[in-house]
Amino acid sequence: MSVIYLLIGCSIFLALVFLIIFIRSAKTGQFEDDYTPSVRMLFDELPEGKTKKTLKQNTDHGA
Amino acid sequence: MATLKESTTRLNCFHCGEQCDEEVFYVEEKPFCCFGCKTVYEILNENNLCTYYDLAAAPGKNRKETISDARFQVLERPDIRSRFVTFEDERQFHITFYLPHIHCSSCIWLLENLHTLNDNIIHARVDFRRKEIFIIADKQGITLPQVAALLDSVGYEPYLSLQDEKKKTPEKTQKGRLIRLAVAGFCFGNIMLFSAPEYLAKGTLEDPQLQLLFQYMSLLLAIPVFFYSANEFYISSWKSLRNKYLNIDAPIAAAIIITFVRSLYMVFVEGQGGYFDSMSGIVFFMLLGRYFQDRTYKMVTFHRDYTSYFPLAAAVIKDGKEEQIPVSELKTGDVYIVRNNELVPADSILVMGHAHMDYSFVTGEAVPVDRTIGELLYAGGRQKGSSIQLKVIKEVSQSYLTQLWNKSDSEAEESNDSGFVQVLSKYFAYIVFILSFIAFIFWLVVEPSRALDALITPMIIACPCALLLSATFTNGNAIARLGQIGIYLKNAEVLEKLTRINAIVFDKTGTIAQSKEAKINWSGLSLTEEQKSLIYALANESAHPYSRAIARWCYTGNKLKVHEYSEVPGKGIHGVVAGHTLFIGKSDQNEEAGSVIIIDDERLGICSFEAVLFDGMSGLFERLKQQFPIHLLSGDTDKDRTRLSAFFDQQYQKYYCTPEGKRQYIKALQNNGQEVMMLGDGLNDAGALLQSNVGVAVTADISAFTPASDIVLDARQIGKTDVLLQYAAYSKKIVIWSFVLSIIYNIAGLFFALQGLLQPVIAAILMPLSTITIVLFTTGFTSLYARRLLK
């Protein structure tokens, strides 16, 4: 029966990990805009020659 | 047949989709209604961005009414700049703009490809729901005013207002609530797991060590729920207690605290499991219900005041030079410039130029008025025509319009009546307190060992949460359903207020009738195609709404040149077209009849204008008339009186109303003991909307600026006003029935609890069962009624 202590520890730990991930994603704003990404992914790439010039020097999306 | 032919020959603008009823511009065989639309197309075409037009048909914003770019210069001022720039270093800066025109996937595509138009835009990202764009730009290459002008040049004018700052706060609380909800959910779920064995074993496990562990784990997990997740209940009930009244959160806070303290006692003194699961369950479900109830519509704003209508800056002339300063800094005696289509921000005197003021914003009257030098111009007018110079005589905060707003605001705030649910829950709380106290006394006499149980368990089992849940879930779902069809409610309280309405007041222009269109009744000779072309050519020269209506009516597709055009304000227009002399305007004999049309001294006939009612209005009035008195207020002349008398009683129609007059009218009704619902649109109704018990702002475009109100209503849905009232009544009924349902559960629970006999198993079954059935009951019925009524 003592294995149950280990299992309880594991399950709580796992649940905590999910909770922390959720809180982090809520804090970084992932639940704020639940519509635009669904439209954005359907756009085609722009034709050649008009590629994004300076995008690579800035990869963060800001606060 | 004639109308059919007309509609096929007319062209729709490739950019904005509006009818080209004036001059048509062509690029690559694509028609454009105005020069502005054509320019946007050319910019996009040059940069291979025409996918914009493939994603949605005619996605652009009409560019007929444009304002000069000079007003963006004010963005250079540090205090204003900091409102839009969220971050900056030596190389780049981050900007957030609110773009009201964002409305389709084409908008997202174009705006996120902004870097192809200007290399200095590094990155652009759109938040569609909030209609915001986030831009990272190269500081060396572009300035903030230039970014704003760039957005404007493709048809997305950034909205610059002093009010933006206030908008940010509710977002934060919503985010915090989501996290509190997550914590409560996590703890609730895990506590349920630890409690389950104890329930199944009827209170005692075989392994006492394991039981102890489960109890302490439950306690541990309950701590964040008690101290963190349930925070808002304590804060709000503490606030209400300090103001000496009981609000809806007070019984919940009491239940949470009692349950927690009682459970602590059970764990440490009695060595039992406690009710941590019930407590975290209450918190979790309450937060969940509130999260959905308060999920605000990001595109709808209810709390606008005059500052959101006024421009951010005015072009003041100082030492012969033009300088942009914020309107709030305008001082008495300053001279400033107002250009075509710009708004007058403060009461001023005209010192230079000819003012042609469109006061539709303030009075609802669509016909512009003329003012000459030396005359007073009230704030809120929009200049149509060439630039004028004005001298401020009252600062913005002192202006007539602002005063009206402030006055109505302070008076309306006072009426804070307690809602129906609040009253119910208060009595409910009292009854529970009294019952448990009686039980306590009873058992103290009969069998003292059971007395404490009998005192506390009723409070736990009969906590008013089932009642509160039924209200939050019913209202939350009802508001969401109404939102789906374009009726946006400010909060749940509005739904309740709707059930008490017994008088309805309508504004005329813009609310029940279209403000920009007038229907023409022609009495006279029938016109030939040639005559129509002549009339069209002349009428097309003028910006007067009646001329526009005549131009649309006489459109033939034939374009003729006008010579010797002259316009006498308030009289009419003259001109020579293809050798014929024309006059359109007021006839000399009969003042009110309308506009006569004269070609070569021959009087062809007379046009009279009547307001075009929105679709479904007559049906709505018929239905509403059966139930309530309905009133009509208009800032307009009484030219439509006879026609509208079919719907409104003579004594309930009022014309020539000032904004203050409208407010007084509502107040008079309220003094008669009536609960008034007011439907209005422009700023001229703002005072009346605030004064009324339920103010409904009617708007053709949900993202456009509406005055402060309780409900924002899509103009297309105005015919459903009666259904809205009906639906509100139904949802109140649902709350009552689910309350009855929860009372049945509570009586069952109390039956055991008052005997001091309540076993943990029964508590464990009753708690979630009552909660879940109530949630299902309320959401199920609100959805059912929504399907039946609102579709």
What's the rounded mean pLDDT across residues B563-580? 79
pLDDT score at B333: 85
DSSP β-ladder status, B503-507 and B630-633: parallel
For residues B523 and A21, the model is more confident at: A21
> Is A31 in the B-facing interface, judged by CB distances under 8 Å?
yes
Residue B344: phi and psi, rounded to 5, are -80, 120
- Check if the beta carbon of residue B580 is closer than 8 Å to that of residue B600: yes
> Is A27 in the B-facing interface, judged by CB distances under 8 Å?
yes
pLDDT score at B688: 83
pLDDT score at B4: 36
| C-alpha distance from residue B585 to each of B359, B528, B639 (Å) | 21, 20, 17
Residues near B18 by beta carbon (within 8 Å), at least 6 away in sequence: B12, B33, B62
* Contact criterion met (CB < 8 Å) for A55 and B122: yes
**Could you read off the pLDDT of B247-268 as tens digits, one per residue?**
667 777 877 888 888 889 888 8
Percent of all residues in chain B with a pLDDT value above 70, rounded to a whole number: 79
* Contact criterion met (CB < 8 Å) for A62 and B109: no
Question: What is the C-alpha to C-alpha distance for residues B729 and B164, in angstroms, rounded to an integer?
Answer: 36
Please tell me which of the candidates A26, A35, A50 has its beta carbon nearest to residue B128: A35
pLDDT score at A56: 40
Mean pLDDT score of chain B: 77
| Residues 38 through 57 of chain B touching chain A, CB cutoff 8 Å | 47-48, 51, 55
**Could you read off the pLDDT of B326-336 as tens digits, one per residue?**
777 788 888 88
Report whether pLDDT(B541) > 50. yes
Lowest mean pLDDT among B363-377, B402-416, B523-537, B698-712: B402-416
Question: What is the C-alpha to C-alpha distance for residues B745 and B320, in angstroms, rounded to an integer?
Answer: 79
| C-alpha distance from residue B109 to each of A2, A58, B106, B115, B133 (Å) | 59, 20, 5, 12, 12
- Check if the beta carbon of residue B92 is closer than 8 Å to that of residue A57: no
* Contact criterion met (CB < 8 Å) for B86 and A63: yes
What's the rounded mean pLDDT across residues B776-781? 87
If you measure CA to CA, which chain A residue comes closest to B179?
Answer: A23
- Which residues on A lie below 8 Å from B85 (Cβ)? none
**Could you read off the pLDDT of B414-423 as tens digits, one per residue?**
334 446 666 6
**Packing angle, helices B208-224 and A3-27, rounded to 10:** 10
DSSP letter (8 states) at residue B19: B
**Could you read off the pLDDT of B16-67 as tens digits, one per residue?**
777 776 667 787 778 887 777 887 888 888 877 777 887 777 777 776 666 6
Q: Which residue has the tokens 């018990």?
A: B693
Tokens of B234: 């304590």
| Residues 119 through 158 of chain B touching chain A, CB cutoff 8 Å | 119, 122-123, 125-130, 134, 136, 138
Lowest mean pLDDT among B35-39, B267-271, B569-573: B569-573
pLDDT score at B182: 93
pLDDT score at B228: 93
Letter for the amino acid at B521? N
- Rounded to two decimals, the pTM is 0.67
**Could you read off the pLDDT of B480-492 as tens digits, one per residue?**
888 888 888 877 7
Lowest mean pLDDT among B122-136, B210-224, B362-376: B362-376
pLDDT score at B225: 94
Q: Between the CA atoms of B245, B247, B249 and B251, what dihedral angle is there, to the nearest 10 degrees?
A: 70
**Could you read off the pLDDT of B96-126 as tens digits, one per residue?**
888 877 877 888 888 888 888 888 888 888 8
> Is A13 in the B-facing interface, judged by CB distances under 8 Å?
no
Write out the DSSP string of B325-389.
EEGGG--TT-EEEE-TTPBP-S-EEEEES-EEEE-HHHH---S-EEE-TT-EE-TT-EE-SS-EE
pLDDT score at B753: 67
How many beta-carbon pairs below 8 A join chains A and B? 90
**Could you read off the pLDDT of B178-189 as tens digits, one per residue?**
899 999 999 999
Task: Quickly state the pLDDT bin for B402 (edges 50, 70, 90).
Answer: low
- From the candidates A2, A24, A30, A36, which should be mutated to test the interface with B, based on the most B CB atoms within 10 A? A36
Task: Quickly state the pLDDT bin for B190 (edges 50, 70, 90).
Answer: very high
**Could you write out the three-class secondary structure of B479-510?**
HHHHHHCCEEECCHHHHHHHCCCCEEEEECEC
Report whether pLDDT(A63) > 50. no
- Which residues on B lie below 8 Å from A63 (Cβ)? 86-87, 94
Question: What is the C-alpha to C-alpha distance for residues B259 and B253, in angstroms, rounded to an integer?
Answer: 10
Question: What is the C-alpha to C-alpha distance for residues B465 and B252, in angstroms, rounded to an integer?
Answer: 7
> Is A37 in the B-facing interface, judged by CB distances under 8 Å?
no
**Could you read off the pLDDT of B443-489 as tens digits, one per residue?**
888 877 777 666 666 666 665 566 667 777 788 888 888 888 888 88
